[in-house]
Each structure stands twice: as structure tokens, then as C-alpha cells.
Chains A and B, each alone.
Chain A
Amino acid sequence: MDKEILVALAGQPNVGKTTVFNLLTGLNQHVGNWPGKTIEKKAGTLRHNGTVYRIVDLPGTYSLTANSPEEIIARDFIIKERPDVVVAIIGAATLERNLYLVAELLPLPAPVVIGVNMIDVAKREQIHIETDVLEAAIGVPVVPMVATKNQGVRELVEAVDALATGRRDYAPRIPQIREDHRDVLEALEALIRESVPEPYPSHWTALKLLEGDREMTALVRGRLPDDAWEQVHELLKAHEDAIIDIAGGRYEWIGRMTRAALARPHTGPVTLTERLDRVATHPLWGLGVLALALLLIFWLTYTIGTPLQDAIEEHLVAPLGDRLAELLAGQPPWLSGLVVDGILTGAGTVLTFFPILVIFFASMGLLEDLGYMSRAAYVMDRFMHAMGLHGRSFLPLFLGFGCNVPAVIGTRIIDSRRPRLLTILLAPLIPCTARLVVIAFLAPIFFGDRATLVAGGLVLLNLVVFAALGVAVNHLVFRGESVAFIMELPLYHVPNVRTIALGVWQRTAEFFRKAGTIILIVSVVLWALSSFPGETVEESVLAQFGRWLDPVGQLMGLGWRAVLAMLTSFLAKENTIASLAVLYGAGQSDLAGALSAAITPAAALSFLVAQMLFVPCAATVAVIWQETRSWSWTGFSVGLLLVISISAGTLVYQTARLIGWGV
């Protein structure tokens, strides 16, 4: 009668295990399901030198902890069926990664043969593996293979046979748990040893309990007396972190095993992405690139956008206003006022933003499609770290440069509540596109040629306030809680014009939707309140309300109109422009003159500073409440920013007054 050897074929996914199985069994295989599971079971036979090898293809698994049915099937088969040999197929190019499963197979009661497959792939990647050195290090047979070319299969079968028949010694070096938890493992094993059912090894079972393996925990729990379980439970509770030391022990083992056997190329071919990243993610140059990108966007806006904006005002909005005024000449004055001074001056002025918006959105879309945004987030994160904002991630907040709403929503990736609340609190301090557009519009009006520098300075100021508030709250409230991310930076792409154009279209369309609703309504309401009951704005209902704001405005050198315009930005940031136009009774081109005449440079700077730091828009406030479900936190967030913005505006104006600049 032929000798029979039971072989289990194990391996992580994508290592060529199925190819090896097919080569070994050929047509002598049958496919079914594992008992009680819908997972495919493949088994087959190989006859070689008078021996029948029964080969079972175990499901591909990354580990043997009960995280998935496949992992339970694989380990249960090895423990309960006790194969004569387990063949672990590992990928040569992913050797270290794949050895993790081997580290878990070795403590099980079945000898292991390792098949290092896809040696050719590794060679192509200039990875050199000394399989005999690896064999000596691990203490189990290691066979180099290229299964797709039928290389190494015969040697694998011979190694299996030698091990199964005892012609070869088996002395594996089994990974050990790190020293920190070795005593705990021993204590645990002593507690459960008498209750662990056959055929589970007690040491392995104790290890699995420490790993938090639900299946083994339930098994032991059902067999232990209550008092003994209580001790086990206490031990496990006190050493929840043991799993880390167990995995750490396995990785240390992998490091030791491969140290002499594996040689990777020290310097691979340097890709374009790597070359660019040397600058783009450099702690210093990376910040320079980011600052340059921001300044370039502002410069493009002022160089191309502002003249175009003037042209739209001059050739479209102004003539339209004149034409409408002519058409409505015979109508009641309030109707002409509503259409020309309310709707056209307010919402119409905002519509002249169009070129600025296109440049902004196209620039952001270009950086996004290029793959630069992840680098910018990474560099900013390191900058924040350097500024003392340790343990906070800039990642979700970086979304705030587009819009604060997704930044707040993006904090969902932070699991812990308190760090998440802090991140939400900081989110509105990231200048969103709408705020940047307002600055892009107003900075040239107030500061002419120096607009780019002023705009850049305002963005920097926001980030400094952001960091200062973050550090303060971090120290006072959220000490010791970290938010961390690991991010694979994507490859740089050649930007796709269609993708960028689509993004510009979607974002611009959304802006026009806002202009046609919120901004239009606010413009009309402001016009109505500023037109009745008196003949002039000063006699209006709005003026009576606005004068209550005078004390606050005076601190910042501003009149009530400017403060009121800032207040309307609560509904949408762009409302500031429409409100200034309505309240100063001017279209865009006149607005420049009207504002320059009414607001001194010092007050203008104070206004822009306060505007940048002002409370978030209503949509952001709504989403803050939605995400925190806390009225008090939402109120605190709004109140805090209100105080910060007024304080900063006041500080700027009063300092300017003290040094005698621009007053």
C-alpha cells in the first residue's frame, strides 16, 4: 500500500499559492466547500515515488487570528487535522510581509516547509534572497521557486517528503513574545492549561487569548470555572496592549530572519515623484513651495482677474444698470431702487467675481489634479508640529482651504471625541475659498499694488492664530490625546484639463446658485432696510440698528456700515461685498472710490483681519452643530471666533494708530 502524506498549502493572498496547488495536483483535484462555510475548499492528490500526497489548499490569509472565517478555517485545519507538513508559500518580492504568516504557522503542531515563490519577480526588482541563509536562520526547509515556470516544484515535494518521513531534522526558531509580556503569557498558560481542550496547544491558546482572539476566548471561557476565568479576565484586561508585543515579537523575528538573507537595492531608480518630493515635502523648501503656490494664485488673480472684473463691471454691469434705470424711469422710485441699487448693486457686484473665481478654482483644481494637495497637507502638518501644535493633524483641516464645511465633516476620521472637538473648533480658522475671494476683491481696492503681500499676510495671520489657539486649547483642555494619520503620497499626475474644467464648472455653478439665492435675498433685505423710512441711508431702520454697532466699530476704526457688512457674511462670506456695495450705494468701480474715501488704510487692514477671522458662515455653523450635536460647543465656537476677530481687528487698528500709520 502506498504511503500517504497530508499536506496543507498555506499562504497570504497573491503569492501564487493556487499555481503551486495546480502544479502539484494537476487534474487530480476536487472542489467543494469547507464544512459549514461557503468558502471554497480545494483538495487534490499527487503520486510521487510511491507516495500519495493529499494536498489541501487552505484559504489565503494574512494571519491566523480569528479575524475572518478564512483564518479560522486555516488554523483549525492545521490544529485539528494535524497535516504531516504545512507548505507555506511566500512571495519573494514581499518576503518580509509574507513571513508574518510563517511566524504564526511555526508555533502550530505541524512542521513547515517554506516555498519562496516568484524569485524571478524579486530579481527583476533587484531583490536578492539567499534561501539557504534563510533556511539556516529559520531552521526549516526553504525552497526557491518560480511556480509559473514550474521551477522548484520537484524540490518542494522532496523537502516535504524528507520532513514528513523524518529524514530531515526539524528545529524551527519560533518567534517569541517580547519580554514585557513573557511572564504574563506564562501566568496565563498556567491558569488555562488544564482547561484547554484537545487538540489545541495550551501555549498557543494563551497567546491567542492575549491577542484578543474572540473564538479562543469564548472556548476557554466556557470551560473555565468562574473564579479561574475571573483571574484570566483580570489578567487580559490589565494587558490589553500585549497584542502589540506579540505582533512586535513576530516582526522582530522577521527582521532577524531576513537580515542576512535579504538584500534590497540601496538606491532604486529615482522616480520623478521622488525627485519632486525632495523639494515639495522638505521641511523648509516645502513651505516655500506652498507659500509660492499661494502667492502665485493671488498674483494671477490680481494680474488677470482684477482687470477682467473691472471690464465686466464697466462693459456689462454698469451699462445694464443704466439701461434698467432708463427702463424703470416711469415706475415708482422704490422699484428702480430695488432693481438697480438693491439687486444689481448687491448681487450684480458679486457676479463680477466670476474671473476671480475661475482663476481660484482652476488653480486649486490644478494643484489637486497634480497630486500636490497631499504634499501641501503634509508640509503644513509638519509646520504646525514645529509651531507647537503637537499631536494634532492638519489633514482634515486642510480641506478648509476649499470650504470649511467638508473640513468639519472630514473630522469624522478622528475617532476620539475630544480631539475631534478641538479640530472642529479650529476648522473655521482655515481661510476658505469664499473668504479668500473676498480678500482678493477688497485687498486691491484698499492696498493697490501691495494687495498680494497683504493677502498673503492675512492668510499667514489666520494660520498663526490657528496654531496659537490650537496650542492653547491643546494644553488647557486636551492634553495627551493624539490624532495621527499615515498617508501614502500619491504619484504626481499630468493634470487633466477636462477634470479641472469640470471642477471649475461645478464650483462656479454652486457660487452662482448662492448669488441667486442667499446673496440676492440679503442684498434686497439690506437695500429695503437701508431705504426706509427716510430718504437717505442715515435715516433708515438699518442705520438705527447699525449705530448700536458703532462702539465695536470704533475700536477697529470702522463705521457701522462696514461692521454690518461683516455681520452679513455670516450668511455667506461673499455677502460682505454685496453689503458694502449696497450700504455705500455704489457699484464695483464706484465701490473702490467710496470705500477708499470712507475707510482709512489702518481701518481697512483691521477690517480685512477681522473679516478673515470672523465667525464661520451659517452652513459651517450648522454642520458644526450636526457633527457635535452640542449647542453649547457650537455657541462656544462662534463666540470664541467673534471675540478673536474683534480683538485682532482692534489690535491692528489701535497699533496702527499708536505708530501713526494709515489713520
Chain B
Amino acid sequence: MQLLRLIGRGGIHRPRDLAAELDTTPALVEGMLADLERMGYLASVSDRCGPATCAGCGHACAGPLGMITRGGKLWALTARGAHLLEPAGNG
């Protein structure tokens, strides 16, 4: 899927940028992201963050990434997703 390949270029992407590149709507991109998450190619990061991961950190955060995302949704490319992109030579 073209979306996964765009994501596979690495870095941080915004749904609206991806939508613009795919010439579609952010709403549809969000749907695609949800599908890719269900397929295991993306993981919703917020599920994995929490105060427990802050253990040992002297600087209070709402979760390691909470200070950055501030409630906005965050997905990460999984190993499965990265593996799928390997033959395409992205990286």
C-alpha cells in the first residue's frame, strides 16, 4: 500500500501530510492507519506509555511521550511493518 511506503520513508508524519501526498482526505488516511494497526503493521503508541515507564526519571512526565503528544494519537511502524517494506528498499 502506498501509504505504508510513504510512512516507511521514516520520521514523523502527520495524517494531513499523508493525505495530501495520497490526494485523499485525512479522514480516510486515519481509517487506513486504523486498518494498518489492526493488521499489525502499525502500533498505537499511547497504549504502551504510562507512568510505569517513567521509573527512574527525575523529570515528571505524564508518560515518556505524553509531554510531546499531549493526547494526540501516535502510531509507530512495527517490526512487521518495517519487515514488509524491506524488499521495496525503503529506508
A interface list, Cβ under 8 A from B: 62-63, 65, 67, 94, 96-97, 100, 212, 240-241, 243-245, 247-248, 251, 254-255, 264, 281, 368, 371, 373-374, 377-378, 381-382, 384-385, 390-396, 398-399, 402-403, 405-407, 409-410, 412-416, 419, 433, 479-490, 493, 503, 506-507, 510-511, 513-514, 619, 622-623
Cβ contacts under 8 Å, B24 to chain A: 96, 255
Cβ contacts under 8 Å, A510 to chain B: 58-60
What is the CA–CA distance of A403 and B55 in the complex, to the nearest angstrom? Answer: 12
What is the CA–CA distance of A402 and B57 in the complex, to the nearest angstrom? Answer: 10
Give residues of chain B (42-72) contacting chain A, Cβ–Cβ below 8 Å.
Answer: 42-43, 45, 48-49, 53-54, 56-61, 64-65, 67-72
Cβ contacts under 8 Å, B90 to chain A: 391, 480, 482
Q: Is the CB of A244 within 8 A of B11?
A: no
Q: Is the CB of B2 within 8 A of A248?
A: yes
Interface class of chain A by DSSP: helix
Closest to B45 in A: A413
Which 3 pairs between the two chains have the least Cβ-Cβ distance?
A391-B10, A97-B31, A415-B79
**8 examples of A-B residue contacts, CB within 8 angstroms:** A94-B31, A96-B31, A251-B28, A377-B12, A402-B61, A409-B53, A481-B82, A510-B60
Q: Is the CB of B39 within 8 A of A396?
A: no
Chain A CB count within 10 A is highest, among B34, B64, B80, for: B64
What is the CA–CA distance of A204 and B59 in the complex, to the nearest angstrom? Answer: 53
Q: Is the CB of B91 within 8 A of A247?
A: no
Q: Is the CB of B84 within 8 A of A488?
A: no
Known: A96-B27, A392-B10, A486-B75. Is A511-B58 also a contact (CB below 8 A)?
A: yes
Cβ contacts under 8 Å, A479 to chain B: 91
Known: A244-B4, A399-B67. Is A385-B11 also a contact (CB below 8 A)?
A: yes
Known: A415-B43, A488-B72. Is A503-B86 also a contact (CB below 8 A)?
A: no
Interface size bracket, B side? 35 or more
Cβ contacts under 8 Å, A480 to chain B: 86, 89-91
What is the CA–CA distance of A378 and B15 in the complex, to the nearest angstrom? Answer: 13
The smallest C-beta distance from B90 to any residue of chain A, in angstroms, reads 6
Known: A390-B91, A406-B59, A484-B13. Is A396-B27 also a contact (CB below 8 A)?
A: no
Cβ contacts under 8 Å, B45 to chain A: 413, 485
B30-44, CB under 8 A of A: which get 1 and which 0?
Answer: 111111101101110
What is the CA–CA distance of A62 and B30 in the complex, to the nearest angstrom? Answer: 13
Q: Is the CB of A94 within 8 A of B27?
A: yes
Q: Is the CB of B15 within 8 A of A486?
A: yes
